[in-house]
Amino acid sequence: MNTETEMHNIILIHTARTWERIRLKQKHEEMPQDNIASASEGIPEISFDILKTDIIQRFLNHKSNDWDWGKETKGCAYASDCYIEKKATEIIYKHYI
Task: Give residue 65's pLDDT.
Answer: 82
Task: Give residue 43's pLDDT.
Answer: 94
E strands, 19-72, in order = none
φ, ψ of residue 16 to 5 degrees: the values are -65, -40
What b/e sequence results for 49-75 when a residue is b if at least 16 CB atoms lie within 10 Å of its CB, and e otherwise? ebbeeebbeebeeeeeeeeebeebbee
Q: How far apart are CA 74 and CA 76, in angstroms?
A: 6
Cα 89–Cα 93–Cα 97 angle in degrees, nearest 5: 140
pLDDT in tens, the chain (97 residues): 578 999 999 999 999 999 999 999 998 988 877 777 777 889 999 999 999 999 999 999 988 888 888 888 888 877 789 999 999 999 999 999 8
Task: Give residue 75's pLDDT.
Answer: 81
* Among the listed residues 83, 92, 93, 72, the one whose alpha carbon sits nearest the alpha carbon of residue 11: 83
Task: Give residue 23's pLDDT.
Answer: 92
Task: Give residue 90's pLDDT.
Answer: 97
